[in-house]
């Protein structure tokens, strides 16, 4: 069970629209990863490598942190088949198993900050250790998800094999299609920082107060750098809210955080 403060406002008391996302925003979210992938190959063919690298950084970020994350929690309210389909396909663009991610992340919500939390345990490591653990993180959660069994085990296995096939293809085609090899290499390397950004930075597992175990971020600079994604505490409290509505949720929760004397982290302002 997810632990929550007993005096936490109910979602419908905050707003009746926090679970709603306009259709065009859903379509835009689902298409963006594929557009990014296409832009990379176009820029790479044109030798525009600065833009190629930047677009892959953006692709890795928006998949794991928002689009795939919404699919993990099913907050876009897609039919079950299409939710599975897009979770698999979009995470494959980043050479990751979508359903291993789903298992590990939902398990994180249930078990953080205990040692059973395979995703959140990185928050207990030292700075250097968490950077190194990112190298094997995706393989680690994939193997963990396989051992967990259940109905989605076949999907997890299939996604892992597809990732391996893509990597093998990139190696075999290196001499004739090097930009594909570079794409695969950069996407794999991009996943190495996931434990640092999604576990180490937003969490403080050594706090006893539930509201302090996940850090509160505010400020224009933080919002700009994280592209309106530094709402991890709000997400822990209300995991059914899609990422499109996190800024609105944060504003509605500010009075509650003030009453509870939860101090926010700001970068200058």
265 forms beta bridges with 217
Instruction: Flag residues of the chain having pLDDT under 50.
Output: 1
Report d(CA 101, CA 110) in Å as an integer.
Answer: 14
217 forms beta bridges with 265
Contacts of the segment 164-168: beta carbons below 8 A, 24+ positions apart: 166/92, 166/95, 167/95
Report d(CA 21, CA 77) in Å as an integer.
Answer: 9
For residue 2, the model assigns a pLDDT of: 59
For residue 37, the model assigns a pLDDT of: 98
Q: Could you state, in order of their start, the residue ranges of all structural domains in the chain? A: 19-206, 207-269
For residue 258, the model assigns a pLDDT of: 96
For residue 30, the model assigns a pLDDT of: 98
| Model pTM above 0.85 | yes
Report d(CA 159, CA 170) in Å as an integer.
Answer: 17
Apex CA 75: angle with CA 74 and CA 80, to 5°? 30
Apex CA 258: angle with CA 254 and CA 263, to 5°? 95
Tens-digit pLDDT profile for residues 177-226: 999 999 999 999 999 999 999 999 999 999 989 999 999 999 888 888 88
């Amino acid at each position: 069970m997810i632990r929550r403060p007993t005096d936490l406002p109910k979602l419908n008391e905050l707003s009746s629209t926090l679970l709603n996302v306009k259709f065009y925003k859903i379509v835009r979210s689902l298409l963006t990863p594929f557009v990014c992938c296409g832009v990379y190959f176009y820029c790479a063919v044109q030798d525009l490598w600065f833009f190629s690298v930047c677009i892959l950084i953006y692709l890795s970020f928006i998949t794991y942190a928002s689009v795939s994350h919404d699919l993990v929690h099913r907050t876009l309210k897609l039919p079950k088949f299409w939710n599975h389909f897009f979770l698999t396909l979009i995470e494959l663009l980043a050479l990751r198993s979508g359903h291993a991610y789903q298992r590990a992340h939902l398990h994180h919500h249930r078990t953080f900050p205990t040692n059973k939390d395979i995703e959140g345990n990185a928050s207990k490591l030292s700075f250097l250790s968490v950077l190194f653990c990112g190298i094997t993180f995706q393989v680690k959660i994939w193997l963990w998800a396989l051992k967990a069994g259940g109905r989605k085990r076949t999907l997890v296995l299939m996604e892992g094999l597809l990732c391996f096939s893509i990597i093998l293809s990139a190696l075999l085609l290196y001499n004739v299609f090097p930009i594909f090899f570079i794409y695969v290499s950069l996407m794999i390397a991009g996943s190495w920082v996931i434990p640092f950004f999604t576990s180490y930075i937003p969490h403080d597992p050594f706090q006893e107060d539930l509201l302090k175990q996940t850090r509160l971020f505010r400020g224009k600079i933080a919002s700009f750098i994280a592209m309106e994604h530094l709402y991890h505490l709000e997400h822990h409290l209300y995991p059914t809210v899609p990422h499109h509505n996190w800024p609105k949720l944060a504003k509605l929760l500010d009075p509650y955080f003030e009453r509870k004397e939860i101090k926010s982290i700001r970068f200058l302002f």
